[in-house]
Amino acid sequence: MRGKLEAMTPSGPLVTIIGGGFAGSECAWQLSRRGHRARLHEMRPRVSTAAHETADLAEMVCSNSFRSDNPFNAVGLLKREMEALDSLVVACARQTRVPAGDALAVDRRAFSTLSECVLPRFDLTRLPLRHETRLRPLLRGEARIEPP
């Protein structure tokens, strides 16, 4: 995030993103920053799982660790590459880091809250779904969309 929370005026194509986990949130962030409109479909809060505790996007479940942060191994090096691309996920992880040796561990609730707060600053439409299991209706805009 490096202090760059501004986005370009949306003029690119509308991109449909299915799922508001790490990949979906990162995709919405990267597209929005580059002037594309993003439509994010996420099943929560309408449908949840036993692992989820919040309705936030990019909620970390089952662990609080992104594994090693050592740039001399593949996992740590990937984080540096993601930072070079101004990754939302890595920036939020760094801002919510907790002590864990050479691992990048986070305060899970603070991490998802920060991610959830940053994304709405962009031209992002978040649409809750009941639980769509078929891809084609989503892509055609025919999914069962309901207000939260």
pLDDT of residue 41: 80
pLDDT of residue 91: 95
Q: Provide the edge-to-edge strand list for the sheet that holds 14-18.
A: 14-18, 37-42, 124-128
Is 14-140 a CATH 3.50.50.60 domain? yes
Please provide residue 38's backbone torsions phi and psi, each rounded to the nearest 5 degrees: -120, 130
Please provide residue 21's backbone torsions phi and psi, each rounded to the nearest 5 degrees: -75, -155
Q: Express each pLDDT in 6-19 by its tens digit.
A: 545 667 778 888 88
Residue 104 pLDDT level (bands cut at 50, 70, 90): very high
Reported pTM: 0.77
Which DSSP string corresponds to 9-25?
PP-S-EEEEE--SHHHH
Q: Is the pLDDT of residue 148 over 80?
A: no
Coil, helix or strand at residue 133: coil
The domain limits of the chain are: 14-140
